[in-house]
Copies of this chain bind each other. A is one copy, B any other.
Amino acid sequence: MTLKTVPVVEKIMDANDQVAAENRKLLDEAGVFGLNIMASPGSGKTSVILQTIQRLAPKLQIGVIEGDTAPVTIDADKVMAAGMPAVQINTGGSCHLDAPMLSRGLGALDLKDLDLLIVENVGNLICPAGFALGTHANVVIASIPEGDDKPYKYPNIYRGLDVIIINKIDLMPYIDFNMDYFRKGIEILNPGLTTFALSCKTGEGIEEWANWLLEKVEDHKK
């Protein structure tokens, strides 16, 4: 008789992937492009979202799902103050969103009214990498003060991206950040990756990022 093993982790991942596929179907049927934003705490995810809303609001209806490890609505409140619908998912201490959580978030939005769904994942450079949500694109927001070695130290989250944003470039004069070393780390993991360097403070680079995203949303509707 052979020992039977139960691959619990694999099964959980499969279940997540199944729900992610259902989420994708819901988004596609409603013609909504879904963007999953991952980053460290304090990299400026919410600031980038607010800048993106400001640039694209005249052209697109944008919904935001905020993933938070604690029941504080700081980020969701900012999005609603910017005039867009927001849903907060409190993960109850967990370090990432997963597809079933996003599914519940989608149920709380009128998807047919939206063109773009932005998901702000929990601030974490490790856990979110392991859980597909069903969105159409994954972006990591790096920030200058985090340092230039992050792609080397956190390769799982920097791998398999559709685009990367390098935020807070206004701080470059005050920080030892070797942009070539950082870009080399990104390139090893994602050859030819689209990259936007920007500042939510000065507005530099925001337009290029917003135009790229607008094109993705419009292509998705075709």
Binding site for B on A (CB under 8 A): 40-42, 68-70, 72, 74, 93-95, 122-127, 130, 143, 145-147, 149-150, 152-156, 168, 170-171, 174-175
Residues of B within 8 A of A70 (CB): 152-156
In the complex, which residue of chain B has the Cβ closest to the Cβ of A129? B93
B74 touching A41, Cβ below 8 Å: no
Residues of B within 8 A of A175 (CB): 171
Q: In the complex, how many angstroms separate the beta carbon of A91 from the nearest chain B beta carbon?
A: 9
Given A41-B40, A150-B42, also A156-B125 (CB < 8 A): no
In the complex, which residue of chain B has the Cβ closest to the Cβ of A175? B171
A-B contact pairs, 23 of them (CB 8 A): A40-B40, A40-B42, A40-B123, A41-B146, A41-B150, A41-B153, A68-B153, A69-B126, A69-B153, A69-B154, A69-B156, A70-B155, A70-B156, A72-B153, A74-B152, A93-B156, A95-B95, A95-B126, A123-B154, A124-B125, A143-B145, A170-B174, A174-B174
B174 touching A127, Cβ below 8 Å: no
- List 12 extra interface pairs beyond A41-B125, A41-B150, A95-B127, CB under 8 A: A41-B153, A42-B145, A42-B150, A68-B153, A69-B126, A74-B149, A122-B126, A124-B126, A126-B127, A170-B174, A171-B174, A171-B175
Residues of B within 8 A of A130 (CB): 93
Residues of B within 8 A of A69 (CB): 126, 153-154, 156
Residues of B within 8 A of A155 (CB): 70
CA distance A174 to B94 in the complex (A): 32
Residues of B within 8 A of A168 (CB): 145
CA distance A24 to B89 in the complex (A): 38
